[in-house]
Amino acid sequence: MAIIVYNYLTRRKEEFKPIHEGYVGIYVCGPTIYDHAHIGHAKAYVSFDTIVRYLRFRGYQVRYVQNITDVGHLTDDADEGEDKIVKRAQKDRVEPMELVETYMRSYFEDMDALNVVRPNISPRPSCHITEQIGLIELLLERGHAYEVNGSVYFDVSSWPEYGKLSGRRLEEQEEGVRVAINPEKKHPADFALWKRAERGHLLRWPSPWGWGYPGWHIECSVMATKYLGQPFDIHGGGLENIFPHNECEIAQIEAATGKPFCNYWLLNNMVTVNGVKMGKSLGNAIPIKEMLTRYRPMTLRFFILSSHYRSPTDFSEAALDAADRGLERLTSAVSLVRARLQTAPDGDLDAEWAARLEDYRARFVEAMDDDFNTPRAIAALFDLSREVNALLNSGQPVSRATLEAIHDLYQSLGGQALGLIFDEPVRGDLVSSRDTLVDGLMRILIDLRHQARQARDWAAADAIRDRLAELGIVLEDGPEGTRWRPSR
Amino acid sequence: MAIIVYNYLTRRKEEFKPIHEGYVGIYVCGPTIYDHAHIGHAKAYVSFDTIVRYLRFRGYQVRYVQNITDVGHLTDDADEGEDKIVKRAQKDRVEPMELVETYMRSYFEDMDALNVVRPNISPRPSCHITEQIGLIELLLERGHAYEVNGSVYFDVSSWPEYGKLSGRRLEEQEEGVRVAINPEKKHPADFALWKRAERGHLLRWPSPWGWGYPGWHIECSVMATKYLGQPFDIHGGGLENIFPHNECEIAQIEAATGKPFCNYWLLNNMVTVNGVKMGKSLGNAIPIKEMLTRYRPMTLRFFILSSHYRSPTDFSEAALDAADRGLERLTSAVSLVRARLQTAPDGDLDAEWAARLEDYRARFVEAMDDDFNTPRAIAALFDLSREVNALLNSGQPVSRATLEAIHDLYQSLGGQALGLIFDEPVRGDLVSSRDTLVDGLMRILIDLRHQARQARDWAAADAIRDRLAELGIVLEDGPEGTRWRPSR
Assign residue A77 a region (left: φ > 0; alpha: ψ between -120 and 50; beta: otherwise).
left
Per-residue pLDDT reduced to its tens digit, A391-432: 999 989 999 999 999 999 999 999 999 999 986 543 222 223
Looking at residue B429, its pLDDT comes to 28
Region A313-336 average pLDDT: 92
Contacts of B429 in chain A (CB under 8 A): 292-293, 472, 486
Among B23, B71, B97, pick the best mutation site for testing chain A contact (most A Cβ within 10 A). B97
Q: Is the pLDDT of residue A224 over 90?
A: yes
Amino acid at A383: D
Residues A110/A99, Cβ–Cβ less than 8 Å = no
Please provide residue B477's backbone torsions phi and psi, each rounded to the nearest 5 degrees: -90, 130
- Angle A88-A90-A95 (CA atoms, 0-180°, nearest 5)? 95
Chain A residues within an 8 Å CB radius of B130 = 129-130, 133, 205-206
Q: Which residue has the higher pLDDT, A200 or B351?
A: B351
Task: Dump the DSSP string for B286-351.
Answer: PBHHHHTTTS-HHHHHHHHHTS-TTS-EEE-HHHHHHHHHHHHHHHHHHHHHHHHHTTPPP-PPPH
Averaged pLDDT, B165-177: 72
Kindly report the nearest CA distance between residue A146 and chain B, in angstroms.
22
Distance of residue B395 Cα from the nearest chain A Cα, in angstroms: 29
**Nearest in space to B260 (alpha carbons), one of B296, B229, B291:** B229
Is B193 in contact with B136 (CB distance < 8 Å)?
A: yes
CB spacing of A472 vs B297 below 8 angstroms: no
Q: Flag if B430 and A296 touch (Cβ within 8 Å).
A: yes
Is the separation of the CB atoms in B262 and B16 below 8 Å?
no
Do A121 and B97 count as a contact with CB atoms less than 8 A apart? yes
Which residues lie below 8 Å from residue B139, measured CB to CB, with a gap of 6+? B145, B152, B154, B193, B252, B255, B256
The C-alpha of B229 sits at a distance from chain A's nearest C-alpha, in angstroms, of: 12
Beta-bridged to residue A232, according to DSSP, are A262
Give the C-alpha separation, B377 to B32, whole Å: 31
Query: CB-based burial of residue A131 (10 Å sphere; 0-12 exposed, 13-18 middle, 19+ buried)?
Result: buried
Check residue B172 and give its pLDDT. 67
For residue B124, the chain A residues in CB contact (below 8 A) are: 127
Q: For residue A150, how many other CB atoms are within 10 A of its CB?
A: 17
What integer is the mean pLDDT of B407-418? 96
What single string gives the DSSP state of each residue in A157-215?
GG-TTTTTTT---HHHHHHHS-SS--TT-SSTT-EEEEEE--TT-SS-B--TTSSEEE-
The 3-class SS string of A62-101 reads EEEEECCECCCCECCCCCCCCEHHHHHHHHHCCCHHHHHH
pLDDT of residue A281: 75
Instruction: Choose among A151, A282, A159: nearest CA to A207.
Output: A151
**Mean pLDDT to the nearest integer, A211-230:** 97
The lowest-confidence range among A361-375, B57-71, B247-261, B428-442 is B428-442
Q: What are phi and psi of B380, to 5 degrees?
A: -65, -40
Checking DSSP bridges between strand A61-66 and strand A23-28, what pairing results, if any? parallel
Burial class of residue A121, CB neighbours in 10 A (0-12, 13-18, 19+): buried
Q: With a cut of 80, say whether residue B67 has pLDDT above it.
A: yes
Chain A contact set for B427 (CB, 8 A): 470-472
Nearest of A127, A24, A28 to residue B97 by alpha carbon: A127
Strands (E), A247-401: 262-268, 271-273, 276-277, 313-315
Q: Using pLDDT thresholds of 50, 70 and 90, give the confidence band for residue B80.
A: confident
**DSSP run (H or E) holding B133:** helix B129-141
Q: How many angstroms separate the CA atoms of B169 and A450, rounded?
A: 77
Cross-chain CB nearest to B205 (options A63, A130, A205): A130
Q: Are B27 and B262 in contact (CB under 8 A)?
A: yes
Which of A119, A124, A133 has its CB closest to that of B127?
Answer: A124
Q: Which of A94, A119, A441 sits opposite B441 (nearest CB)?
A: A441
* CB B39 within 8 Å of CB B278: yes
- Under the banding of pLDDT at 50, 70 and 90, the label for residue B252 is very high
Sign of the torsion formed by the C-alpha atoms of A121, A125, A126 and A128: positive
Apex A51 CA angle, A46 and A53, nearest 5: 90
Q: Compare CB distances from A438 to B131, B427, B434 and report the shortest one's residue.
A: B434
Quickly state the pLDDT bin for A174 (edges 50, 70, 90). Answer: low
In this structure, which amino acid lies at residue B352? E
DSSP state of B239: G
Chains A and B form CB pairs within 8 A to the count of: 128
- The answer, yes or no, to whether residue A280 has pLDDT greater than 80, is no
- In angstroms, the CA A12 to CA A8 distance is 7
Q: Do the Cβ atoms of B155 and B145 come closer than 8 Å?
A: yes
CB B40 within 8 A of CB B271: yes
Average pLDDT over residues A35-63: 97
* Residue A450 DSSP one-character state: H
Give pLDDT, residue B438. 80
CB–CB contact B98 A118 (8 Å):
no
φ and ψ at residue B348, rounded to 5 degrees: -75, 165
Average confidence (pLDDT) over B334-358: 92
Nearest CB to A113 within list B127, B431, B448:
B431
What counts of helices (H) and strands (E) characterise chain B? 15, 15
Mean pLDDT rounded to a whole number for chain A: 91
- pLDDT category at A180 given cuts 50, 70, 90 is low
pLDDT at A424: 52
Q: Which of A98, A126, A486 sits opposite B127 (nearest CB)?
A: A126
As a whole number of angstroms, the distance between CA B468 and CA B484 comes to: 10
Kindly report, residue by residue over B353-387, the tens digit of the pLDDT: 999 999 999 999 999 999 999 999 999 999 999 99
Segment A283-308, tens digit of pLDDT: 889 999 999 888 889 999 999 999 99
Q: Report the alpha-carbon angle A321-A325-A328, nearest 5.
A: 140
Stretch A37-43: mean pLDDT, rounded? 96
Q: Which residues of B119-157 are buried (b: 16+ CB within 10 A; e: fewer)?
A: bbbbbbbbbbbbbbbebbbbbbeeebbbbeebbbbbbbe
Measured CA to CA, the distance from residue A285 to residue A43 in angstroms comes to 12
Q: Please give the C-alpha separations between residue B98 and each of A46, A316, B50, B89, in angstroms, as whole numbers.
A: 21, 38, 31, 8
Per-residue CA distances from A31 to A68, A95, A291, A421, A464 (Å): 6, 19, 18, 26, 44
**Residues A71, A234: contact at Cβ < 8 Å?**
no
Q: What is the ipTM of this complex?
A: 0.83
Average pLDDT, chain B: 91
Q: How far is B459 from chain A (nearest CA, A)?
A: 13
**B279 close to B285: Cβ distance less than 8 angstroms:** yes
Q: What pLDDT digit, counting tens, does each position of B11-62 carry?
A: 999 999 999 999 999 999 999 999 999 999 999 999 999 999 999 999 999 9
Q: What share of chain A is helix, strand, coil (3-state, %, to 5)?
A: 50, 15, 35
Q: What's the CA gap between A344 and A338, in Å, rounded?
A: 10
Question: For residue A453, with 0-12 CB atoms within 10 Å meaning exposed, 13-18 middle and 19 or more buried, which class applies?
Answer: middle
B98–A470 CB contact, under 8 Å: no
